[in-house]
Chain A
């Protein structure tokens, strides 16, 4: 927490670090959550593997204790990827919104973990919409009025880097948490240089989009241009700029029959 507070003082921004309270019993989780609160943390984290009643309990605890609840979907792949058995992640996302979590890992479409861009956008809509319209290519089968149910901030995490900023912004818009783990820590100039590179890339891309630029097609040029005045961004692009993950997702929407490896 010393580092979190130092970062706050150095930037003037409220900072946080996800303290994972996942444990074997819900009682142990309460204990860890209380400890996180005592340390002054603004946010705790929980893994999906703990199960539904525990998620609901820790969500209720978080509301009572002014704590942000970060939901990691660790374990979901064991039952969301097959077409012939399991539960779609879209349904998991709905349940978690109903449970009242604040953040939810919902995929990246361009990172190291598999995901069909349209289907992933469907998960994002389930988290953020006030009213979801039927959208078959995104796996949304019927209209749904969310009334005033609190929204969830979706999280893109896993193998993403500054060189993909235009794609991330184009796919997911503004209301998203972009988590660059390896894309920060792995920077050749160190973690701080990695953080600067990511923040500059994000700000320059938002600015360009708002100015009317076509970021989807001009994104790489926009980043290259910005890197001329920011050596950490240049280093980041030199390191990761060419890296993309090319795969055919198995987890596609199935409103029409699609060939998959899992059938």
Chain B
């Protein structure tokens, strides 16, 4: 993280802004609901750039049209996994889209371990790269706490 000017992972929307308050988060949720999107809450302690599918905190809220309800789910997740990354995601079911159209991180561990870049020297001068999550250096049962 030291080489990143904002000192944290910057996936998704709003990572370069100060953390959104619950009121600000509610406004984003409402915007998505007005567009007909379905919200879901996901968490992980390994936000590797290729870790596309985080763990689902409950199932996506396809039928929930109330911003306060989505925020309640998010805060339940925060209570359960205070030291994990948590993100809110909005799914657009429109034919031809059918994908996540909004995604932003709403909870982060106190210390973000970040990633190392592993260089494997291959024949010739070929270098093969691997992005490695420091978080995964510890067994899963020992992660998610300070």
Report which A residues bind B (CB closer than 8 A): 1-2, 5-6, 8-14, 38, 40, 130, 148, 151, 174, 192-193, 196, 199-200, 203-204, 206-207, 210-212, 229
Contact = CB atoms under 8 A, between A and B. Distances in A.
A6 B117 contact: yes
A144 to B, nearest CB: 14
A211 B126 CA distance: 48
B10 A1 contact: no
Interface stretch (B43-51, B57-65, B70-78): B43-51
B27 A210 contact: yes
A204 B10 contact: no
B136 interface: no
Contacts of B128: 40
Interface in B12-27: 13-18, 20, 24, 27
A5 B9 contact: no
Interface centre among A1, A2, A12 (most CB of B within 10 A): A12
Interface residues of B, number: 35
Interface in B86-135: 95-96, 101, 114-117, 126-129, 131
Contacts of B129: 1-2, 5, 40
A6 B3 contact: yes
Contacts of A5: 117, 129, 131
Contacts of A148: 96
A6 B118 CA distance: 10
B127 A2 contact: yes
Contacts, number: 82
B4 interface: yes
A12 B17 contact: no
Nearest to B96: A130
Interface of B: 1, 3-6, 9-11, 13-18, 20, 24, 27-28, 31, 47-50, 95-96, 101, 114-117, 126-129, 131
Given A2-B127, A11-B10, A200 B117 contact: no
A207 B28 contact: yes
Contacts of B20: 207
B10 A9 contact: no
A203 B117 contact: no
Contacts of A1: 127, 129
Contacts of B9: 11-13
Contacts of A38: 126
B14 A12 contact: no
A40 B118 CA distance: 14
B15 A203 contact: yes
Contacts of B117: 5-6, 8-9
A162 to B, nearest CB: 12
In the A-B complex, the 4 residue pairs with the closest CB atoms: A12-B9, A130-B96, A210-B31, A5-B129
Contacts of A199: 10, 16
Contacts of A174: 101
A151 B14 contact: no
Contacts of A2: 127, 129
A12 B6 CA distance: 12
A3 to B, nearest CB: 11
B4 A10 contact: yes
Given A12-B115, A200-B16, 13 more contacts: A5-B117, A5-B129, A10-B4, A10-B114, A12-B11, A12-B49, A12-B114, A38-B126, A196-B16, A199-B16, A207-B14, A207-B17, A207-B20
A204 B14 CA distance: 7
